Amino acid sequence: GKHAFLPQKKYRYVLDGLQNMDQGLAEAPDDLEALFIYGMTCYHLPFFFGRKDEAHRTFQTIVGLLEENYQQYDPELVVDVIAFMDEEITLTAGEEATLNSIKAELGGE
């Protein structure tokens, strides 16, 4: 959507992409990489797409997944996900503590 010339085409491409991501997450709702890409995409979309709340729900899901299963994922990916969330996302004190604990355990501090 970013590189389309006409605004209507840009908008349509973004909606199509979001629909594809929604379908992918419906098939694999616990896929950390897919959730992260989806969350980042929704977070960075302009307000008129109405996906900010969805982005925050996705990041909450990611925190829950990491809290329970971070050992199952590539440590470098986990540290990168946590770094993004630390810099960009407003976290609760509990979420922040959880992510900092995981990051410390993985040597990401």
pLDDT tens-digit map of 20-42: 999 999 999 999 999 999 999 99
| pTM, entire model | 0.85
Mean pLDDT over each residue of the chain, to the nearest integer: 90
Kindly state the DSSP code that residue 37 receives in the 8-state scheme.
H
pLDDT above 90 (res 3): no
Amino acid found at 10: K
Instruction: Using pLDDT thresholds of 50, 70 and 90, give the confidence band for residue 7.
Output: confident
Distance (Å, rounded) from C-alpha 95 to C-alpha 46? Answer: 25
Instruction: Using pLDDT thresholds of 50, 70 and 90, give the confidence band for residue 10.
Output: confident
| Structure-block tokens of residue 39 | 């969350």
